[in-house]
Chains A and B, each alone.
Chain A
Amino acid sequence: MILEARDLNYYYQDGDMRRYILKDTSVSFEKGKFYTILGQSGSGKTTLLSLLSALDSPHSGTILFNDQDIKQIGYENYRRNHVGIIFQSYNLIPTFTAVENVLIPMSITENEVPEDQKTVAYNLLDYIGIVKSKADRTVNKLSGGEQQRVAIARALATNVELIVADEPTGNLDEEMEQEIIDIFKRLAHEHNKCVIVVTHSNEIALQSDQSFLLRKGVLTANE
């Protein structure tokens, strides 16, 4: 069990009322598996991912990483060393090149990073389908799909065991979508990582090792 959420509660205060997005939700994830989370728009998928990646904190409940509360690990520390995040909207630094964007987390993390960071970054981008000529472009000169790949490469740069992705294929055509999904599968099955992907797509869900459905603030296994 690499990641476990226990009794998560998250709500927005609406006047006197609390509108719960997550209500006593518990879930656990293992290494070497590819997970998908399905749910209607507005059901709270992004909210859940942001809690799992310590971008935000729940109102109550705990999240354990390798059996340790991430509060104890420290949110900043946890984000820096243990989780790779792929955002729905890429969130790359627009003034920097693709390879520079991949280099950034390498300089932040305390994980062991190979000496020759630049070569590693180029190789990583190449592996994900960004050739060198594109890797040296500032990212706002790349297509949406290309930016999505750079975002994935960035999440992999620190060699973490846990990858969370928020609709990583939302802007891609079917062919590219499948390529990306294949990458995620490889990361889980060949590199023994835990990959959690939020998606709208049932097809993707079908390819995952386990799929969850988020409804009315509760996460249930999707059979």
Chain B
Amino acid sequence: MNFLKRGLLGITRKKGKSLILLAVIFVLGNLISGATAIQQATVNVETNIKERMGALATIQYDYEELDQLSEEEWMEIEWQNIGPDLIEQVGELSYVKYYDYNMTNYLGSNSIESYQGDVEEVVHHIGPSMDFYMKGINYAPVLDFEEGKGQLVDGRVFTEEEVKNGSSVAIISKKLADRNNLQVGDNFTLVNEVYFWDYETGEEEIVASRDVVLEIIGLFESLTLNEDMEMDDGFIDWMDLDYQNTIYVPNAIVINETEFYYEEYIKADKEYAESIAGEAIDYEYYEPMFVLNSPEDSEAFAEEVKPLLPQYYTVISATDQYDNIAGPVESMSNLSKYVLIAAAIATILIIGLVVLLFLRDRKRELGIYLSLGESRGKVIGQILIEVMVVAFVGITLSLFSGNMMAGSISESMMKVDDQDYYHDYMYYGFNNDITTEDVIDAYEVTFDSTYILVFYGIGLLTILLSTIIPLVYIVRLNPKKILME
């Protein structure tokens, strides 16, 4: 008849009380189980989606902050570009896996045609259009390839030398190459034309022009065409076309062409030349892109970078948009958080009360065991066994039923929210196409081991505490006091 055996016997000898305790734990357990299930699912969805959004970050003007400025304040802003020094300083932070900064420009061509989709359709141009998106890079292996936007299918990437020297080499898309019968090793020619629009005559004329000859060193294919997102509004097609006509070159090439363009333009536009007379013109305007080690680093990274930035700049992360598209999940998360807190408080109170009533009858018994010389620890142990075994059964039952409940509740709640949010938030800031729909799809009430552990943890701990506290309160007295009351 040691305390373990007494505890177990106590459960069966007092079936009525055990059943009441079981029922109370089961009902409250369902609440907690349901809420934890939802909570857990929202956490999972967040990591899942953020993982898919990628660990990208960039530095941009803080448009929200600029929006709030008055006109006077606008006039006083000294516009500052983000220079390579700052970008490299940020790039050295421990959160950053690798980084790049890009200077971009559009150029046209007289000798090659842009890729306009698989349909062979003759596109007529009057003069060269600005179809080609020159993307200057500093990171030789090409960040877009490392991050899975594109994939090198032929030739090679840049060398550090080529990037440093601004060599006239380029990586173009396979589709663009095929269309123009170009291969790795071939040269092709783009043209940098400077237009000036004459106010008086209303005519546009070309005031300067020069050829840009580039050697193809590699071909890439786009990987971002999303099969299940092929919508008939042509939006994705447009995005993809833009990418097919992207030409990767070292940054210096783009800088040179931009410089040529502005210098020639200033020669043509006397008025403009006067208005900026004496000012040094900075042609370098980079868009930095940092790939972090993990999406979870985004916040810490932003915290550390912000103090380094000039005024009105801020850090934008790919995961920032999560809050925009995660509306339905967030509301589930909030709701479940409140339910969880309320349920936990209710559970502690109710279980505490039930256990207290349960113990009140047992108080004398506790005194008797103590008077027979049983140690306090074992007396507590005996009662804990009685309560915890029942609790364990109740929690196990409610684990399953609560999880089922959570599944059906979230299903119906998501359906309602679905319509409200889905079309409102599409955000293409980082060229990824994750939408609210993806978030909802990723949301799933699962039955994984973390969830089970968390649930048993919360449940058993709650009951343990609400049992131990009154027990210790009783048992700390000497046996005579316990027996007398």
- Mark A residues whose CB is within 8 Å of B: 50, 53, 55-57, 75-81, 85, 87, 91-96, 100, 103-109, 138, 154
Contact = CB atoms under 8 A, between A and B. Distances in A.
Given A76-B375, A79-B372, A100-B1, 9 more contacts: A56-B478, A76-B374, A79-B370, A80-B373, A87-B371, A105-B373, A106-B1, A107-B1, A108-B374
B306 interface: no
Nearest to B2: A107
Given A76-B375, A79-B373, A91-B371, A103 B1 contact: yes
A55 B374 contact: no
14 contacts: A53-B371, A56-B479, A77-B373, A80-B374, A81-B373, A85-B372, A91-B367, A91-B483, A95-B9, A100-B9, A104-B6, A107-B2, A108-B373, A109-B373
A3 to B, nearest CB: 16
Binding site secondary structure of chain B? helix
A127 B38 CA distance: 64
A112 B478 CA distance: 26
Contact of A91 (B1, B368, B373, B375): B368
Contacts of A57: 478
A55 B13 contact: no
- For B1, B10, B369, B478, the residue with the greatest tally of chain A CB atoms inside 10 Å of its CB is B1
Contacts of B371: 53, 55, 79, 85, 87, 91
Interface string B466-483: 000000000000111101
Contacts of A91: 364, 367-368, 371, 483
A107 B378 CA distance: 12
A105 B373 CA distance: 8
A88 to B, nearest CB: 10
B14 interface: yes
Contacts of A104: 1, 6, 369, 372
B65 interface: no
Interface string B1-42: 110011001100110000000000000000000000000000
A107 B5 CA distance: 10
Nearest first, the 7 A-B pairs at minimum CB distance are A80-B373, A79-B373, A56-B480, A55-B480, A95-B13, A103-B1, A55-B479
A58 to B, nearest CB: 12
B337 to A, nearest CB: 42
B205 interface: no
Contact of B478 (A55, A87, A95): A55
Contacts of B364: 91
B365 interface: yes
Contacts, number: 68
B372 A96 contact: no
B372 A105 contact: yes
Given A79-B373, A95-B10, A56 B1 contact: no
B302 to A, nearest CB: 60
Nearest to A154: B372
A106 B6 CA distance: 13
Contacts of A53: 371
Contacts of B481: 56
A29 B13 CA distance: 41
B373 A96 contact: no
Nearest to B376: A76
Interface string B367-391: 1111111110000000000000000
B365 to A, nearest CB: 6
A107 B382 CA distance: 13
Contacts of A96: 6, 9, 13
Contacts of B6: 96, 104
B457 to A, nearest CB: 32
B377 to A, nearest CB: 10
B481 to A, nearest CB: 7
A50 B480 contact: yes
Given A96-B13, A107-B1, A55 B373 contact: no
Interface in B367-423: 367-375
A56 B482 CA distance: 10
Contacts of A77: 373
A76 B475 CA distance: 13
Contacts of B375: 76
A114 B479 CA distance: 28
B49 to A, nearest CB: 55
A78 B13 CA distance: 30
Contacts of B369: 104, 108
Nearest to A91: B368
Nearest to A92: B368
Contact of B368 (A75, A78, A81, A93): A93
Given A91-B364, A96-B9, A96-B13, A80 B372 contact: yes
Contacts of B5: 107
Contacts of A79: 370-373, 479
B10 A55 contact: no
Contacts of B9: 95-96, 100
Nearest to B6: A104
B379 to A, nearest CB: 10
- For B9, B13, B369, B479, the residue with the greatest tally of chain A CB atoms inside 10 Å of its CB is B479
Interface in B317-370: 364-365, 367-370
Contacts of A94: 365
Contacts of A103: 1
A15 to B, nearest CB: 20
A78 B371 CA distance: 10
Contacts of A75: 478
A211 to B, nearest CB: 24
- For A76, A77, A106, the residue with the greatest tally of chain B CB atoms inside 10 Å of its CB is A76
- For B372, B374, B375, the residue with the greatest tally of chain A CB atoms inside 10 Å of its CB is B372
A97 B167 CA distance: 97
